[in-house]
Amino acid sequence: MHVGWGDIDNYEVYHKIGRGKYSEVFLGYCKANNSKAVVKVLKPVKTEKIYREIKILQTVYGGPNIIKLADLVKDKESKTPCFIYEHMPHTETKVLSR
């Protein structure tokens, strides 16, 4: 599987909005199209897991409740992969449940 990596310089990261076992997620900004973005910075994992997630996201895109994977970038020095998603305004579940 060939992955086309985009330019990390097209993005700015503002603040952390979440984290998981394999990643940290940040609110960001895409300079290329002047819009908000979500930047998922992956923790060290096997390359196969990264490619599997990319393939799954590409396969299910277009289905209901599926967010768009907008770009894939790597940090120039550390080579840490990052997934760039479109930003979707929402209300957090903990706020809704009050």
Instruction: Output the domain CATH number for residue 42.
Output: 3.30.200.20
Percentage of residues in the chain having pLDDT higher than 90: 33
Q: Is 47 within the bounds of a domain?
A: yes
Tell me if 51 sits within 8 A of 6, measured CB to CB: no
Q: Is 71 within the bounds of a domain?
A: yes
For residue 16, CA distances in Å to 2, 41, 51 come to: 29, 10, 24
Q: Is 54 within the bounds of a domain?
A: yes
Residue 77 CB partners (closer than 8 Å, separation 6+): none
Dist CA 82 CA 50 (whole Å)? 10
pLDDT at 30: 92
Confidence of residue 93 (pLDDT cuts 50, 70, 90): low
Structure tokens at 57: 């996201």
- Residue range of the domain that includes 19: 8-96
pLDDT at 58: 85
Look at the block and give the residue holding tokens 């990390």.
8
pLDDT digits (tens, 9 = 90+) for 39-81: 999 988 888 888 898 899 888 888 888 888 889 999 888 888 9
The pTM score is 0.82
User: In the chain, how many domains are there?
Assistant: 1
